[in-house]
């Protein structure tokens, strides 16, 4: 028993020493991160990482494709962070808009045998009180030009997830479609001042 306690103490001390020698994690990761444990794991929320695009894709579930895609994107100049989720068919990329465009990211993804079916966005919504409200908003968004799929409308969390064709619509138009109903998009604190400016 005494030998086991000594051995465990030795192992614990060794682990502590190795942890002290490990290099500090980058404040803003520049390589693509793995999201094996859950969707969007390790996603960088720092504004300095640049704009983010969430791509809805088919083919990410094939063996090795998600990892190959992360390696391909991580090697590109201008990609600040990326993560993949095969379960939801999503690739999230933060990029430097001065060095690349979204089309460059889509082309790189397509070269890995993945089909981009649209862009994804989420909104926080106020006014969704029941399942009937969720069904109503789902129907409205489903008829909106450029909407590929209404991924979720949840009255309990007050969230909406949409996949859309970026050539036919954008987030601003989707917000406008939501605002034609009694439900309203809750603007993030960062966007609030811009929304408060007087309209001409």
Architecture field, domain 28-113: 2-Layer Sandwich (3.30)
How does pLDDT run across 81-92, given as a tens digit for each residue?
A: 999 999 999 999
Residue 113: predicted pLDDT: 87
For the cut 50, the answer to whether the pLDDT of residue 1 exceeds it is yes
Beta-carbon neighbour count of residue 14 at 10 Å? Answer: 10
Residue 35: predicted pLDDT: 39
Q: State which CATH number among 3.40.50.1820, 3.90.1150.10, 3.30.470.20, 3.30.70.100 fits the domain covering 120-187.
A: 3.30.70.100
| Mean pLDDT for the stretch of residues 10-25 | 44
How does pLDDT run across 161-198, given as a tens digit for each residue?
A: 999 999 999 999 999 999 999 999 998 765 444 334 34
For the cut 80, the answer to whether the pLDDT of residue 108 exceeds it is yes
User: Can 28-113 and 120-187 be said to share one CATH topology?
Assistant: yes
Residue 21 neighbours by CB under 8 Å, 6+ apart:
none
Residue 189: predicted pLDDT: 65
CA distance 82 to 30: 9
Residue 39: predicted pLDDT: 38
Q: Where are the domains of the chain?
A: 28-113, 120-187
CA distance 93 to 98: 15
- Check if the beta carbon of residue 163 is closer than 8 Å to that of residue 148: yes
Name, of 2-11, 56-65, 139-148, the range with top average pLDDT: 139-148
How does pLDDT run across 25-68, given as a tens digit for each residue?
A: 333 343 454 433 333 434 444 455 789 999 999 998 888 898 99
Residue 50: predicted pLDDT: 83
CA distance 139 to 150: 9
């Amino acid at each position: 028993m005494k030998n086991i306690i000594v051995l465990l103490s030795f192992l614990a001390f060794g682990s502590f020493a190795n942890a002290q020698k490990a290099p500090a994690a980058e404040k803003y990761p520049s390589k693509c991160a793995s999201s094996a444990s859950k969707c969007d794991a390790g996603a960088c929320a720092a504004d300095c990482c640049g704009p983010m695009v969430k791509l809805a894709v088919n083919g990410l579930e094939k063996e090795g494709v998600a990892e190959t895609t992360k390696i391909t994107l991580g090697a590109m100049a201008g990609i600040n962070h990326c993560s993949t989720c095969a379960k939801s068919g999503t690739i999230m990329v933060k990029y430097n808009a001065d060095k690349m465009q979204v089309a460059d990211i889509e082309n790189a993804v397509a070269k890995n045998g993945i089909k981009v079916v649209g862009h994804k966005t989420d909104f926080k919504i106020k006014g969704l009180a029941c399942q009937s409200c969720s069904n109503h908003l789902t129907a409205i968004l489903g008829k909106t030009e450029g909407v590929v799929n209404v991924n979720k409308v949840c009255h309990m969390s007050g969230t909406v997830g949409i996949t859309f064709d970026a050539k036919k619509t954008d987030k601003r138009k989707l917000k406008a479609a939501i605002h034609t109903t009694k439900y309203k998009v809750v603007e993030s604190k960062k966007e609030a001042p811009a929304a408060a400016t007087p309209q001409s």
